[in-house]
Amino acid sequence: MKKLILSFSILLTSLSISAQLNQISEYWNIQHTILRSQYTVNKATNEKQGVYTEWSIRRNQLVKCNYAKNELNGVFTEYFDVPGLIVRHTANYKNGQKNGWEKTWNYENNTTNQTLIYEELVASGLKPKIYLSEIKEYKNGKKTNNFIEFSSSGDTIEYSNQTVIDANTYIIISKDVTYKSEVKYKKINNNLSDDKEVCRKRWKNDSHHGWYLLFYSDVEKGIISALKYYDNGNKELEAVNGAPDFIGYTETMYYENGKLKTIKKFKKGEEECFYLIAYDEDGKIIKEQRTGE
């Protein structure tokens, strides 16, 4: 008896919702034989409400999603224009804004004609490989710093990942086919473009490469220290400011084999060094000068 009452209650609810909605069908042709889209709208407000479906002129389903009060909500799915519901794109929405992970699939074109799109390849009798090519994260309609790009073999081509350290500090680690980098930021306000770098590092083939920069917490003061590396991972340059009073800085350079090359000392605001000592690649001093120490 309880099951019967429950079933009857669900039926009444469904009938009540249906009574509030109008179904809209749109067609590709005037004969109304090739469906283009179908959805429901609220009779009182004429706003889209519920499932929305869209088809191509080839009668293949292209889109399926949900609306609530005329705004996308839930999973939005887009398909390739071929039979079989092959997904090309998905995204999550909340109150009309992207919220969560967005995924995109791509395909391999192994023909000599690289201009052919997936649908044309399938029409010619081929079965191109489909692969997940990219995922991106959104929060309240804004893209975050988190994303991954994949090759057709599933290898990671490029990625970026944001790690929150505290309420005002976060780190973004990113990688492409050549470099991996890590950048630490301090939040200045709610505008991401105003955030200031605190530290920057870069690697190539798991060895330090290029510049490593460490900034003052008060970024306007400039850099506390800077390191630069050769392609082989050995240190090329090291410059250190006279923190915390910023009275000057010391610059040390190295040969690619790791041996000391020069040491220079500068006073604040002066371009000419007041201390210099230089070495050859065997470690022998070849120049030394001191002025106004």
Q: Is the confidence at residue 293, as pLDDT, over 60?
A: no
User: What mean pLDDT is predicted for residues 123-128?
Assistant: 93
The region of weakest confidence among 83-87, 114-118, 131-135, 170-174 is: 170-174
Q: Are 221 and 203 in contact (CB under 8 A)?
A: no
How far, in Å, CA of 129 to CA of 119, rounded?
A: 12
Reply yes or no: is the peptide bond before residue 244 cis, omega within 30 of 0.
yes
85: DSSP letter: -
Q: Are 176 and 193 in contact (CB under 8 A)?
A: no
Q: Helix (H, G, I), strand (E, B), or coil: what is residue 15?
A: helix
Q: How many domains does one find in the chain? A: 1
How far, in Å, CA of 101 to CA of 57, rounded?
A: 30
Is 104 a domain residue?
A: yes
Q: Is the confidence at residue 7, as pLDDT, over 70?
A: no
How far, in Å, CA of 143 to CA of 134, rounded?
A: 13
Is 290 a domain residue?
A: no
How far, in Å, CA of 239 to CA of 224, rounded?
A: 8
How far, in Å, CA of 184 to CA of 198, rounded?
A: 5
Say which residues have a Cβ less than 8 Å from residue 161's Cβ, sequence separation at least 6: 145, 146, 172, 173, 174
- Residue 74's domain comprises 20-154
Q: Is the confidence at residue 103, as pLDDT, over 60?
A: yes
What is the distance between the terminal CA atoms of the chain, rounded to a whole angstrom?
99
Is 238 a domain residue?
A: no
Q: Are 85 and 62 in contact (CB under 8 A)?
A: no
State pLDDT tens for residues 162-206. Answer: 888 777 787 888 887 777 888 777 777 666 566 777 777 777 777
Is 285 a domain residue?
A: no
Question: What was the pLDDT predicted at 15?
Answer: 41
Question: What was the pLDDT predicted at 223?
Answer: 63
Question: What was the pLDDT predicted at 18?
Answer: 60
CATH number at residue 45: 3.90.930
Is 41 a domain residue?
A: yes
User: What mean pLDDT is predicted for residues 124-152?
Assistant: 92
Task: Report angle CA 243, 278, 221 to the nearest 5 degrees.
Answer: 20
Region of 43 (left: φ > 0; alpha: ψ -120 to 50; beta: rest) is alpha
Mean pLDDT of the chain: 83
pLDDT tier at 134, thresholds 50, 70, 90? very high
State pLDDT tens for residues 45-93. Answer: 999 999 999 999 999 999 999 999 999 999 999 999 999 999 999 999 9
User: What mean pLDDT is predicted for residues 210-234?
Assistant: 69
Q: Is the confidence at residue 216, as pLDDT, over 90?
A: no
Q: Is the confidence at residue 22, as pLDDT, over 70?
A: yes
User: What mean pLDDT is predicted for residues 1-28?
Assistant: 63
Tokens 């599933």, residue? 154
Is 114 a domain residue?
A: yes
Looking at per-residue pLDDT, the higher value among 76 and 268 belongs to 76
How far, in Å, CA of 250 to CA of 215, rounded?
A: 16
Is 110 a domain residue?
A: yes
Percent of the chain with pLDDT over 70: 83
Identify residue 155 by its one-letter amino acid code: D
**pTM of structure:** 0.66
Is 201 a domain residue?
A: no
State pLDDT tens for residues 23-45. Answer: 999 999 999 999 999 999 999 99
